Amino acid sequence: MKLRQRQTSVPTRRRAAPSPRRRMVLVTGVLLAASLGLVARAFDLQVVRKEFYQNQGDARFLRVMPIAVSRGTIFDRNGEPLAVSTPVVSIWANPAEVLDNEARLPKLAAAIGMDADALKEYLAQRSEREFVYLKRQMSPDAAQTVLDLGVPGVNGQREFRRFYPSGPVMAHVLGFTNIDDHGQEGLELAFDEWLAGKPGAKRVIRDRMGHVVEDVELVRAPQPGRDITLSIDRRIQFLAYNELKNTIEQSEADSGSMVIIDVRTGEVLAMVNWPTYNPNALRGSSPSSRRNRAMTDVVEPGSTIKPFVMAAALSSGKYTPNGPLVDTGNGHFFYISHDIRDTHAYGLLSPTGILAKSSNIGAAKVSMTLDTGLMYDTYRAFGFGNSTNSGFPGEASGYLKPGKSWGMLEKAILAYGYGLNVTPLQLANGYATIADNGVMHLPTFVKGSDNEAKQIIDAKIANELVQMMVSVTQPGGTAAPYAWIANYGVAGKTGTAHKASGGTYLKNNYSSAFAGIVPASAPRMAAVVVIDNPRKGSYYGALVSGPVFAKVMDGALRLMDVPPDNIGRWYVGGPLQGQNGLTGNKQPTVEAVDDAPVEEVTP
């Protein structure tokens, strides 16, 4: 029997456990290394790369926001507001944030009046941006409805929108602003820097939803726009607008303009055109309707130029209001193979009679006796061929050929208003100069402006011209009784000019005008009415434009508290009374004069 050998194992040596001291050293080392790492990282973030990370944080939460300012208010001469700025809200968005909430797009689109698919496409095309407008210039209530939806990335921005209480009536004078509240036309453009002010800026902190949670600092203080008071009288403007509009519609004319000037200051009291537009709703208006024709369109003045020929004649010393007499013959004057015509055989006429009858032959014969340089210089002195320097954007200069190039026939034709172009404003300013004792003021749209004044002709001659033009509205004159105003003397001149097209004059296309001064005894206002191509009824300046002048100026004289010429009648018997109120002395109706027969114009 074999004895089983007992196996014995050699015991292994157990590892000695780390001492507590070593463990402490190890843990401390690890903690120290971590601490050093954190300190190094903090140093890197807060010192080495502080600006980079701060900019990154600011880019996400810190913004510089504009502070909108209100554009200055435009007032009429009596303090009535003509253009005001009202607060509105523009809705903007961060496209990426909005697209992350695509399910909410339909409600957002409906609130801003867009198709949901179109809004999605619009945002997707601009997804790399952080700011896009969704809807500009909403009313505060409507904008709040959008913001109340709580769509991430959608925010509102306060702005201002221009509003014009008088609408189309003041449109051509005021012009309008664009969506960013900058003047685009009219006085809004001319005085844009004055009215606009300067927006401010502030630095703010926004949360991830784009909401402002804290104002950090004011970067730039806002400077609100400054107000301006115009020379325009809103009441007179309305009168002129209504009468011009009614006449153009009744006569089926293409267009028309009226300008009224305070002769003592050169201040424009009214300026209207038709057709017009609504500056509160520009969409749909045409460039033609937005044109200020009184400033930008030129016309041949026709017989309204004759008082300026007489100004040269009186200045020459060869003529007085009553003589010498000029033989106008039987109504035909053949000069250099050209038939200059009057509608009637007037025979011998004084210079005053030439104006009263609007004799083309008489005006032409007077011009032939004048030095060409004197006649040209007189026209130029009254501003023809030059801008009036009113400061209105786009003002036309008109056209007057240099006098040294005038031929004798051309000189004769220029005497009755063909061969030169003027704007209604230029013509009105010329009449205002005569009315103010021969002193010309630069036309201005600003009340109380320091306006330049210059003596153009002798005061005695200017006064004589006013009295000569009174004959035009008295019995036997071309404008009687169409431009006559009860209890006020009117000095004026009719004009009926054929319009040119394609190098020739049209037989059935006229510019019908009347220019006048009231009251004749102590002039306060001058006005010009021009109606372009009346098709229905008469085309004579006296019949078409004369009544517009009379009706508007009748109201304007009363609104400006101008006493009647015949004030004595109010104390001795009083003015005559009629069914429609005061009538003054009844004027006989006379046959209107066609002072622009087609045969008389330049071939």
**Per-residue pLDDT tens over the stretch 514-546:** 999 999 999 999 999 999 999 999 999 999 999
Give residue 581's pLDDT. 39
Give residue 66's pLDDT. 73
Q: Is the pLDDT confidence value at 559 over 50?
A: yes
pTM, rounded to two decimals: 0.83
Domain boundaries, the chain: 66-229, 234-278+293-572
Residue pair 591/488 in contact by the 8 Å Cβ criterion: no
Taking residues 406-414, report their average pLDDT: 94
Share of the chain above pLDDT 90, in %: 66
pLDDT in tens, 194-209: 999 888 877 777 665 5
When pLDDT is cut at 50, 70 and 90, the band that residue 61 belongs to is low
When pLDDT is cut at 50, 70 and 90, the band that residue 392 belongs to is very high
Give residue 567's pLDDT. 62
Give residue 577's pLDDT. 41
d(CA 499, CA 359): 19
Q: Is the pLDDT confidence value at 591 over 90?
A: no
Residue pair 112/143 in contact by the 8 Å Cβ criterion: no
Residue pair 251/537 in contact by the 8 Å Cβ criterion: yes
Catalytic residue among 85, 255, 257, 303: 303
From 59-63, 95-99, 340-344, the region with the lowest mean pLDDT = 59-63
pLDDT averaged over every residue in the chain: 87
The residue type found at 365 is K
Give residue 596's pLDDT. 60
For residues 116, 122, 125, 127, the Cα torsion angle rounded to the nearest 10 degrees is: -80
Give residue 5's pLDDT. 52
- Residue 303 designated active-site: yes
Q: Which one, of 321, 570, 278, 289, lies nearest residue 460 by Cα?
A: 321
506 vs 357: which has the higher pLDDT: 357
pLDDT in tens, 160-183: 999 999 999 999 999 999 988 899
CATH code at 234-278+293-572:
3.40.710.10
Look at the domain 66-229 and name its fold. Answer: Penicillin-binding protein 2a (Domain 2) (3.90.1310)
Q: Which stretches does DSSP call E strand in 328-372?
A: 332-334, 339-341, 348-349
Q: Is the pLDDT confidence value at 451 over 60?
A: yes
The residue type found at 554 is D
Give residue 354's pLDDT. 97
Give residue 473's pLDDT. 94
Q: Which one, of 521, 273, 275, 299, lies nearest residue 420 by Cα?
A: 299
d(CA 439, CA 232): 21
DSSP letters along 362-378, please? HHHHHHHTS-HHHHHHH
Sign of dihedral through CA atoms 412, 414, 417, 419?
positive
Give residue 197's pLDDT. 85
Share of the chain above pLDDT 70, in %: 86
From 174-188, 277-291, 396-410, 579-593, the region with the lowest mean pLDDT = 579-593
Give residue 328's pLDDT. 95
Q: What tokens does 340 get? A: 């200059």
pLDDT in tens, 213-243: 566 677 788 888 999 999 999 999 999 999 9
